[in-house]
Amino acid sequence: MTVAHAGSRDGSQAPANAGRSGHGTPAGTVRVAGGQGFWGDDLEAPVRQVEGGDIDYLMLDYLAEVTMSIMQKQRSRDPRAGYARDFVALMERIFPACMERGIKVVTNAGGVNPAECARAVAEAGRGAGAGGRARVGVVTGDDLMDRLDELLASGHPLDNMETGQPLAAIRDRVRSANVYLGARPIVAALDAGATVVVTGRSTDTALTYGPLAREFGWPWDAWDLLASGVVAGHINECGAQASGGNCSAEWWSIPDLAGVGFPIIEASPGGNFVVTKHEGTGGAVNLRTVKEQILYEMGDPSSYITPDVVADFTTIRLSDEGGDRVGVHGIRGRPPTPSLKVSVAYSAGFKAVGTLVYAWPDAAAKARAAATILRERLDRLGLAFDRVLVELVGWDATHGHLAGDPPPDLPEVELRVGVRGTNRASVERFTREVAPLVLTGPPSVTGFAGGRPRVQEIVAYWPALIDRRVVEPRVAVDVVEV
Amino acid sequence: MAEVQLVELAHARSGDKGDTANVGLIVYDEEDYPIVLEMVTPDRVKEHFKDMVKGPVERFRLDNLHAVNFLLHGALDGGGTVSLMTDAQGKVFSTALLRMGIEVPDEVAERVRGRGRVPDGRTGDRR
């Protein structure tokens, strides 16, 4: 059944949760646990989040910028595919514990096929004994693929936000187009009784602040509260990056990363929250780990734009409460922009990367000589590329000229050559020119057992803006009974 | 005055937005924040990276966190799936910035010397 259009709920309403009777956590707080930072993250982490202590919500982020195009390709081959299947396998495992503990799950695992994802999750729920006791909410309306021509024809050029080019320039190569939706449809699904909410392209942060807005009854014009939720969501959305993983501050002193605890947001109705993790887990939550995650993928910190609010990250106040608890408060927000962000994926040519390993003495000199020979052969073959990149992994691949000149006693170095172009045949021919260097170039070369490099189609990202008024009326929320 | 490396004053995390890498730089000791503001300017960062960053360098202050955020435009060979770079998503651009040399008063150098690196006698393997 279709229960609501996003945005149909207005103004303030009575909080859905006037206060939790905590099991060792402060009364009146809501705990949203982060369980996946990307599609491919630690499979055991969400299980630990559900079983390792008290939480109210589990949020799972599966979508990166180009994930949608991969899913679109899967759906074009199989109309029942196009979502993160890992999520269904996970729900098979955690459905019983979620039912028993009253934990709700919010995820963007639906990809380009949220309805099919929800159907599969409902089936998993019945298999796990949740029949008649759970509901899966489905958010749709983010997929603009079928509307693209209509939108372009009616004055929505979808210009590239970085280059200013109109989408018409690449229209015939578009693979997917999805608009980032905010928290309103998530709240509508929860209001309709969903215990699991599956979305397509939602903002990562909405998966955390949606539950908070719903539990606390935050009005949609309570900018500071919503902005606090956005900051909580930003901290929560990359898994262990907030709790000791990938932390550059004295990384060697962070305990037990093998059993790293993923972050938990413990929020209060007034917008203050604590970042923490389950007791007994590894990793660390302190000012350093939280600050690093706040700055991750940051643009202008005073304007963190979401569909529901613009959050000002320069207003964040942190306090280390000790015991892997960091308090966050003071956050200010302001009304959102009239636009929503669209993520378009399009086919942009082909690329291939080949590698060989050269050994002492003069490893780097040999690798560079090999690269010169390879380029000369590509020239003689008349192959043209948009880009040829030569890197020495083990010397300059990540620090470029800052690494200086390589010493002659370097034990080994990996030569890595990449090419990119619109002509697939040229890229294909390049992949056959790497291995011959083993017998026809400088000596002491190895590491070619992996075989010929693979030609990859480039599916590139095209960020654009669209007037929210042409999107929001089409956003719908359905509920599937388990 | 003495020269230290930025890695001794601050820690950092980086990521990407298209062809732009961001580097969030956070001082270990709040008292060193003014040094970072004065010494790690957008011009200086642009000069540090040279042709590694094709476009402009922008800097945003987060005085509340004693941190600054740099946007390095045109640093990722087109970025994301287009880029041929090992570090196509700018994940370790932060470390390249942390190599920068910084002039500081002697007492600051003494306080921070050796920070940001695995201490002598320790390894990354904690077993």
What are the tens digits of pLDDT across the range A407-440? Answer: 989 999 999 999 999 999 999 999 999 999 999 9
Chain A partners within 8 Å of B5 (Cβ) = none
Over the stretch B57-75, which tens digit does the pLDDT of each residue have? 999 999 999 999 999 999 9
- Residues of A with Cβ-Cβ distance to B6 under 8 angstroms: none
Check whether A351 has a pLDDT greater than 90. yes
Q: Does A303 touch chain B (CB under 8 A)?
A: no
Neighbour tally for A91: CB within 10 Å: 28
CA distance A104 to A125: 13
pLDDT digits (tens, 9 = 90+) for A132-178: 999 999 999 999 999 999 999 999 999 999 899 999 999 999 999 99
Q: What is the mean pLDDT of residues A309-336?
A: 98
- Chains A, B: CB contacts under 8 A, how many? 140
Smallest Cα distance from A273 to chain B, Å: 17
- Average of per-residue pLDDT across A32-57: 95
Q: How confident is the model over B68-117, as pLDDT tens digits?
A: 999 999 999 999 899 999 999 999 999 999 999 999 999 999 999 999 99
User: Distance (Å) from the C-alpha of residue B93 to the closest C-alpha of chain A?
Assistant: 7
Q: pLDDT-based confidence at B125, cuts 50/70/90?
A: low
pLDDT for position A73: 85
- Contact assessment for residue A327 and residue A285, using Cβ atoms and an 8 Å cutoff: no
**Is the model's pLDDT at A1 over the cut of 80?**
no
B27: chain A residues, CB-CB within 8 Å? none
- Does residue A394 surpass a pLDDT of 60? yes
Greater confidence (A157 vs A1) lies with A157
Mean pLDDT of A313-339: 98
SS3 (DSSP) at A354: strand
| Average model confidence (pLDDT) across chain A | 93
Q: Are A29 and A422 in contact (CB under 8 A)?
A: no
What pLDDT, on the 0 to 100 scale, is given for residue A11?
43
Burial-class residue B107 by CB neighbours within 10 Å (0-12, 13-18, 19+): exposed
Residue of B nearest to A298 (CA): B22
Condensed to tens digits (0 to 9), the pLDDT of residues A6-27 reads 444 444 444 555 444 444 467 7
Q: How many whole angstroms separate alpha carbon A257 and alpha carbon A278? A: 14
Tell me the pLDDT tens digit for each residue of B12-52.
999 999 999 999 999 999 999 999 999 999 999 999 999 99
Question: CB–CB of B14/B90 below 8 Å?
Answer: yes
What number is the average pLDDT over the span A371-382? 98
* Distance (Å) of CA A115 to CA A58, A93, A133, A168, A197: 20, 21, 19, 30, 11
Kindly report, residue by residue over A213-232, the tens digit of the pLDDT: 999 999 999 999 999 999 99
Q: Does A162 touch chain B (CB under 8 A)?
A: yes
Phi, psi for A140 (deg, rounded to 5): -130, 170
Closest-CA distance, A92 to chain B, in angstroms, reads 33
Q: Are A208 and A53 in contact (CB under 8 A)?
A: no
- State the smallest CA–CA distance between residue B6 and chain A in angstroms: 13
Q: What is the spatial distance between Cα A231 and Cα A209, in angstroms, rounded to a whole number?
A: 9
Contact A420 B82 (CB under 8 A): yes
Q: Which of residues 69-108 of A touch B (CB under 8 A)?
A: none
pTM: 0.94
Please give the DSSP secondary-structure letter assigned to residue A406. Answer: P
Per CB-CB distance under 8 Å, the chain A contacts of B95 are 248, 398-399
**Mean pLDDT calculated for residue range A242-270:** 97
A381: left (phi over 0), alpha (psi -120 to 50) or beta: alpha
Sequence-distant (6+) residues with CB within 8 A of A203 are A180, A181, A182, A233, A306, A307
Residue range A179-207: average pLDDT?
97
Q: What HEC string does chain B produce?
A: CEEEEHHHCEEEEEEEECCEEEEEEEECCHHHHHHHHHHCCHHHHHHHHHHHCCCCEEEEEEHHHCEEEEEECCCCCCCCCCCCCCCCCCCCHHHHHCCCEEEECHHHHHHHCCCCCCCCCCCCCCC
Please, which contacts does A266-270 make with residues 24 or more away whose CB atoms are closer than 8 Å? A266/A25, A266/A26, A266/A29, A266/A30, A266/A31, A267/A29, A267/A30, A267/A31, A267/A32, A267/A212, A267/A216, A267/A228, A267/A229, A267/A232, A268/A26, A268/A28, A268/A29, A269/A15, A269/A28, A269/A216, A270/A225
pLDDT band at A68 (very low <50, low <70, confident <90, very high): confident
Residue A69: per-residue pLDDT: 81
Whether the per-residue pLDDT at A180 is higher than 90: the answer is yes
- Residue A3: what pLDDT? 55
Q: According to the model, what pLDDT value does residue B121 have?
A: 65
Facing residue for B81 by CB, picked from A66, A246, A418? A66
Mutate to test the interface with B, among A63, A67, A298 (most CBs of B within 10 A): A298
